[in-house]
């Protein structure tokens, strides 16, 4: 790789890090880009359950998901992930692994797992995360681990969840800055049948509050559209879902006015019971 090309990538990565928390314990879902960073609590995917195992998930269902994204048209910042989630009686469990970057410059691997228990209309759980960062063959790998907690509540067509991450304030090395605890509130209000409105607020010490708003419109039982808006940084998003039987495919994109487009795609499979016939999860 030419020096000028490598320098331009490093400069771009620094801009991305400042705008989007490049190194982190976050586990992005396959749909958040199209919903302003909000999530669908009423129909969580496997990648959503990794960070929020206390989501509303049907008993007896196993869900598998693979996905990939390209941030700001930089292949050096490509991300790929694999995730799985399962609910057995009152217990929901999930695990996922993701990788960002390429081996000759920067690689960030995140391993995350979650477990939650349903208690009437509440679900309470926790997560454990490990982050491994490498900068090529000439530098030693850095790693850190932490834990978090989640709680969710649903009544009628309204659901809410609180997620706390990085509660141990981990560091990649003794001299590196600590990852501050991060607190997120997610809400979702479902329409009669064909749409849902989702929101997000994220708070972190020394960072501006982040807000996100997204809407999903179910076009039919085989397809849906989403739009979203998020702040800090300001980004606009949209997404398309196509599904048949137990399989769903999502394509989402978001746009940053300075850094450009991010594209993501995800494929998910549900096993163990009939796929939800409509957005509200009825059978």
The dihedral built from the CA positions of residue 85, 278, 31 and 191, taken in this order, carries a sign that is negative
If one compares 174 and 138, the residue with the highest pLDDT of the two is 174
233 preceded by cis ω (within 30°)? yes
Tens digit of pLDDT for each residue in 89-101?
Answer: 899 999 999 999 8
DSSP 3-state of 194: coil
Q: How far is CA 241 from CA 56, 257, 258, 282, in A?
A: 20, 25, 27, 18
DSSP 3-state of 33: helix
Tens digit of pLDDT for each residue in 146-171?
Answer: 999 999 999 888 999 999 999 999 99
Q: 166 — alpha (psi -120 to 50), left (phi > 0) or beta?
A: left
Question: Average pLDDT in the 207-232 region?
Answer: 93
Of 117, 121, 124, 168, the closest CA to residue 149 belongs to 124
Mean pLDDT of the chain: 86
7's CB contacts (< 8 A; 6+ apart) are: none
If one compares 94 and 220, the residue with the highest pLDDT of the two is 94
43-48 contacts at long range (C-beta below 8 A, 24 or more positions apart): 43/276, 43/279, 43/281, 44/85, 45/83, 45/85, 45/248, 45/266, 45/268, 46/83, 46/84, 46/85, 46/94, 46/96, 46/268, 47/81, 47/83, 47/96, 47/266
* pTM of the shown model: 0.87
Residue indicated by tokens 């190194």: 23
In this structure, of 103-107, 127-131, 162-166, 249-253, the range with the lowest mean pLDDT score is: 103-107
Q: Are β-strands 106-119 and 195-204 bridged in parallel, bridged antiparallel, or unpaired? A: unpaired
Tens digit of pLDDT for each residue in 139-148?
Answer: 788 999 999 9
Q: Nearest 5°: CA angle at 34, between 145 and 101?
A: 45
* CA distance linking residue 30 with residue 27, whole number of Å: 10
Of 53, 281, 270, 52, the closest CA to residue 157 belongs to 281
Asked whether 184 and 201 are in contact (CB, 8 A), the reply is yes
Question: Average pLDDT in the 29-49 region?
Answer: 90
Q: Nearest 5°: CA angle at 126, between 78 and 84?
A: 45
């Amino acid at each position: 790789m030419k020096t000028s090309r490598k320098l331009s990538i490093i400069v771009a990565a620094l801009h991305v890090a400042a705008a989007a928390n490049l190194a982190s314990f976050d586990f992005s879902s396959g749909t958040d880009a199209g919903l302003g960073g909000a999530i669908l609590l009423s129909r969580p995917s496997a990648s959503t359950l990794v960070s929020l195992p206390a989501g509303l998930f049907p008993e007896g269902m196993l869900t598998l998901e693979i996905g990939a994204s390209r941030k700001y048209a930089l292949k050096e910042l490509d991300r790929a992930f694999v995730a799985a989630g399962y609910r057995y009686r009152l217990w929901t469990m999930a695990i996922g692994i993701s990788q960002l970057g390429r081996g000759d410059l920067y690689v960030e691997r995140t391993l995350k797992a979650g477990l939650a228990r349903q208690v009437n209309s509440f679900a309470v759980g926790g997560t454990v995360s490990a982050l491994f960062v490498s900068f090529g063959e000439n530098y030693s790998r850095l790693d850190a681990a932490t834990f978090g907690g989640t709680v969710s509540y649903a009544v009628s067509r309204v659901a809410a969840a609180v997620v706390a991450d990085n509660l141990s304030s981990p560091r990649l090395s003794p001299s590196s800055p600590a990852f501050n605890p991060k607190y997120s509130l997610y809400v979702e209000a479902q329409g009669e049948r064909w749409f849902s409105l989702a929101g997000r607020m994220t708070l972190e010490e020394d960072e501006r509050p982040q807000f996100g708003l997204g809407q999903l419109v179910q076009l039919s039982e085989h397809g849906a559209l989403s739009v979203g808006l998020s702040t800090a940084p300001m980004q606009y998003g949209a997404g398309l879902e196509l599904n048949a039987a137990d399989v769903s495919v999502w394509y989402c994109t978001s746009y940053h006015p300075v850094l450009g487009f991010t594209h993501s795609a995800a494929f998910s499979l549900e096993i163990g019971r009939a796929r939800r016939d409509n957005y509200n999860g009825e059978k």
